[in-house]
Amino acid sequence: MDALGGLYDPNASDPYAISPRVRAAVKDSGLTALQLTVGDVGNGPDRFRLAVEGIARARGMIRANPDLLRHVLNASDLAAAKSENRLGLVLGFQDTTPLEGDPARVGVFAELGMRVIQLTYNKRNLAGDGALEAADAGLSDMGREIIAEIERNRLLLDLSHGGRRTIAEALGAATRPPTISHTGCRAVTDYPRNVDDAALRATAEKGGVVGIYFMPFLRTSGQATREDLIRHLEHAVKVAGEDHVGIGTDGGLAGVVIDDAARRRQREFVERRQALGIAAPGEAADVFNIVTEYNHPGRYLQLAEDLTARGWPASRVDKLLGANFARLYRDVWG
């Protein structure tokens, strides 16, 4: 399971079209399911409309590729995706701005096939403060209403990108297992997009799962490596326990072909995020959102081999690579 990933091909003009390269990557990856982000992040106009359009396009992509993809709505869909050798797609938001201030719209999006809602992105929204908001004012009253609606609709609450206080207060308010689907450990690398040990423990105590990402925030500078990733994984397991840690790469399944065009896209990507005020410390124009040794579709199998070589038992590796998130999805969705 990849608790937050992408099917995009940087060389394709349509992010909702499955290119031959992505199709091959899906087959080579060994993945059962991947959470796919739809809708825009951050504050701005037309977030509800853009989210609905994004859902429609994602579902259209699934229908256009019935041999490859399956829309996951519940645990039985996960089992079917595995048995059919298809990739299950879990649709999720990385912000609550698509609600446009109306918590009742959680139910609308649940009916449209969304299964994960992230409370905040990097900055403040009506639900609470994100990881980059200096005030760290925490969860709002509306945020508590939104959490209640997420749980009432049996969706998965995601606290990735949240500020420290927002995450702590949201974990306190949650009555069902949550996730922090894509993050790192702040005790290993002190960046705001990583979470502290208190959040790791509290997520585990609620029965949730933390996904470790393949991102630059795994180290203080330069390109993230296998050793960086494994340090974060082992710290998370030490603090939260092996039943509560998984993978949420926050990256494309096919890997990045690093050439001049890719370097230009990375520079433009970071510049655009900086202009919008949503770029996080650790993002850089010359650092790709990858872990060098795992920049290919077979990353999970290679990671399993690397962890086994470090003495991880097979049962722990299985939990990390998917069993923990599969259990969480069953607990939350039924």
Give tens-digit pLDDT for 236-249: 999 999 999 999 99
**What pLDDT, on the 0 to 100 scale, is given for residue 239?**
98
Q: What confidence category does residue 54 fall into, taking pLDDT thresholds of 50, 70 and 90?
A: very high
**What pLDDT, on the 0 to 100 scale, is given for residue 85?**
96
How far apart, in whole angstroms, are the C-alpha atoms of residue 55 and residue 127? Answer: 22
Give tens-digit pLDDT for 257-268: 999 999 999 999
**What pLDDT, on the 0 to 100 scale, is given for residue 14?**
84
**What pLDDT, on the 0 to 100 scale, is given for residue 109?**
98
Domains in the chain (CATH in brackets) are 2-333 (3.20.20.140)
From 8-17, 165-174, 296-305, the region with the lowest mean pLDDT: 8-17
**Residue 13 confidence (pLDDT) above 90:** no
Closest CA to 312 of 239, 214, 238: 238
Measured in degrees and rounded to the nearest 5, phi and psi for residue 145 equal -65, -40
**What pLDDT, on the 0 to 100 scale, is given for residue 129?**
98
What is the reported pTM?
0.96
Distances (CA, A) of 111 to 8, 57, 105, 130, 323: 25, 16, 10, 27, 26
Q: What confidence category does residue 214 fall into, taking pLDDT thresholds of 50, 70 and 90?
A: very high
**What pLDDT, on the 0 to 100 scale, is given for residue 11?**
73
Closest CA to 69 of 33, 110, 117: 33
Mean pLDDT of the chain: 96
